[in-house]
Amino acid sequence: MGIMTIPGYIINLPDKLNLAPGKLLQSFVCKNVPQKLYIAPGENHAYMKLDVLAIGAHPDDVELGCAGVLLKEKKNGKKTGIVDLTAGELGTRGTAESRKAEAARATEILQLDARENLQMADGFFLNDRQHQLRLITAIRKYQPEVLFCNAPEDRHPDHGRGSKLIADAAFLSGLRKIETNENGIAQEAWRPKYVFHFIQDRFLQPNFVIDISEEFETKIEAVKAYATQFHNPALNEPQTYISTPDFLDSVVYRAKMLGKMIGVKYGEGFISEKMIGLRSLDDLIKNNT
């Protein structure tokens, strides 16, 4: 019998399964989140190998930062997922419970293959060995080729601190002498090929912009899934920096401004830890700017 592991579950597999690497073993729903299990290369256990993983300090960071690209990659047949560091329990409006339900709704809209919350302390998590090891375990579990994470510096201090924590863990995850396990099973070292920081509240000059014109409406739908956080005249909650109509307007303007920089309607911008290579000139958007 082989062993299949997913968070909180260990499932025995019959020996006679055709365990071709990358084969989709099972789709199911766990805690309202759709999950897919794939066979690991050279192993007879299954895991949720993702192509693209986005990690944010708070539920809604990823939706605001790179939901357009996640939707685009999903449309291209890639497997995508989100890991949230905290439940956003210090947010002025709503509760950790309402944020959880909102994240589940956004997960459906983005058609994610996996979403997980690491339950770190909102406002107080640190970039230390203990937190790095928890992130290394998550990165090794999902084995993403590309990792998106928070902006290197921003209005909310969790964003800059989270950004460094995630980027440090992405590097350390590739060191095989750092041992981690999931449900008692040793994990293999894994380093994402690219780490890209999305741009959040403060404008930072991106290194590149991706066209999300076709995905923009669905992105806004995913952002609005966080109904307690953003503008909602029906709610009797204190007004915050992000709950005014102006904030949602600024999300639209930002995407328009980034889109304009590359000659398309809407864009998402990213800062890369390393130089980006193009396979050919065909990848360029040849609109006038």
The phi, psi pair for 147, rounded to 5°, reads -120, 125
E-state strands within 17-150: 24-30, 33-39, 46-47, 52-56, 80-86, 114-120, 146-149
Q: Is 99 in the site for Zn ion (CB under 5 A)?
A: no
Min dist. Cβ of residue 211 to Zn ion (A): 25
Binders of Zn ion in range 219-248 (CB under 5 A): none
60/113 with CB nearer Zn ion? 60
Task: Kindly tell me which of 58 and 254 has the beta carbon lying closer to Zn ion.
Answer: 58
Least CB distance to Zn ion at residue 63 (A): 10
Of the candidate spans 61-69, 98-106, 127-135, 228-236, the one that interacts with Zn ion by CB under 5 A turns out to be 61-69
37 versus 57: smaller Cβ distance to Zn ion: 57
CB count within 10 Å of CB 175 equals: 11
Question: Cα separation of 48 and 55, whole Å?
Answer: 16
Q: Please give the C-alpha separations between residue 92 and each of 57, 99, 109, 161, in angstroms, as whole numbers.
A: 16, 12, 25, 20
Closest to 213 measured CA to CA, from 75, 78, 61: 75
According to the binding rule CB under 5 A, does residue 154 interact with Zn ion? Answer: no
For residue 43, report the phi and psi dihedrals to the nearest 5 degrees.
Answer: -130, 160
Does residue 61 bind Zn ion (CB under 5 A)?
yes
Site for Zn ion in 30-59 (CB under 5 A): 58
- Count of chain residues binding Zn ion (CB under 5 A): 2
Measured from the CB atom, is 28 or 241 closer to Zn ion?
Answer: 241
Instruction: Report the interface residues with Zn ion, using CB under 5 A.
Output: 58, 61
